[in-house]
Amino acid sequence: MAKKLGLVLGSGAARGWAHVGVLRGLKEIGVAPDIIAGCSVGALVGGAYVIGALDEFESWARELKPLSALERFTLKVRRGGLIDTAPAFDAFRSYDKNIEALAVKFAAVAADLATGEEVVITTGSVIDAARASSAIPVIFHSVEHDGRWLVDGALANPAPVSHARAMGADIVLAVDLNAVPRVLDRFDAPAPSLPVSTPSPAPKPGLSGAVAKLIEETRSGVKRQFDLAKARADAAPHLFETAYAAADIFQMHLARARAQTDPPDILLRPDMRDAMPTAFDRADEFIEEGRKGLLSVRTELEVLLER
């Protein structure tokens, strides 16, 4: 009897384009997931795959420019957020299916705004489930679902391995995009000491003017680098970079804690620390990163599925 592969696609905002690459990599090696459990952007990409709209979704993602994803959204300060994502999701409404009718089992994880409970959506509209799972608090409107107001599932379970198991997965491949967080490592080390300023030595007899000029330019260049390093070290954290780093650190620790009790068989942890959550215009780069990550575990995955 063939073993069932469960694919877990975690949270990560724009980094989630890497999930497209993971799915492309699986297709490249002739493996298809039987089960997909997604959180936030992982539910979005996984949802596009299970309703047969991944090609269209990928084309849309690759054409995005900086912040152009917001053109499909509507600014309305209500429902606990600034932006209504309904117009963007409605653009794919013609592809929508009920989760119960899918050939691939699917679950989207959200969080209940009233109780803080984890909510696993396994019935109803795929698009509505993905929208609820990816409703980033304060930024996106919360989504009403079965009498509950739901927000981003990353608050409860950023990489829902447990739900892939519960749906019958024998082998679980999980993609954690927050495993390497965007910490502010420029504050980690003390500032380098500036060299003592000394007058430039007079050129030695016989030394050409060109060589003397090169020496002086090199010395000035080194000093500029020290000055720059010190300025960076002395700078205070900025508002948005602090928010990004804090969100990454929170999700990293939560995902690690959940992985202690529900470890996947294979964990992909791409290093995406330089990827801003709003870098929607870097789809080409992130998709390839996901594809390479999947291909790097090809042998391990094939052995587990054959065993």
234 CB-contact burial (10 Å; exposed 0-12 / middle 13-18 / buried 19+): exposed
3-state SS of the chain: helix, strand, coil percent to 5? 50, 15, 35
| 128 is a catalytic site residue | no
Q: What is the torsional sign of CA 121, 125, 126, 128?
A: negative
Burial 199-225 (b: 16+ CB within 10 A, else e): eeeeeeeeeeeeeeeeeeeeeeeeeee
Residue from 152, 176, 262, 281 carrying the catalytic annotation: 152
d(CA 76, CA 208): 69
d(CA 280, CA 61): 7
Residue from 11, 40, 125, 162 carrying the catalytic annotation: 40
- Please say whether the beta carbons of 106 and 124 come within 8 A: no
184: helix, strand or coil: coil
| 40 is a catalytic site residue | yes
List the catalytic residues.
Answer: 40, 152
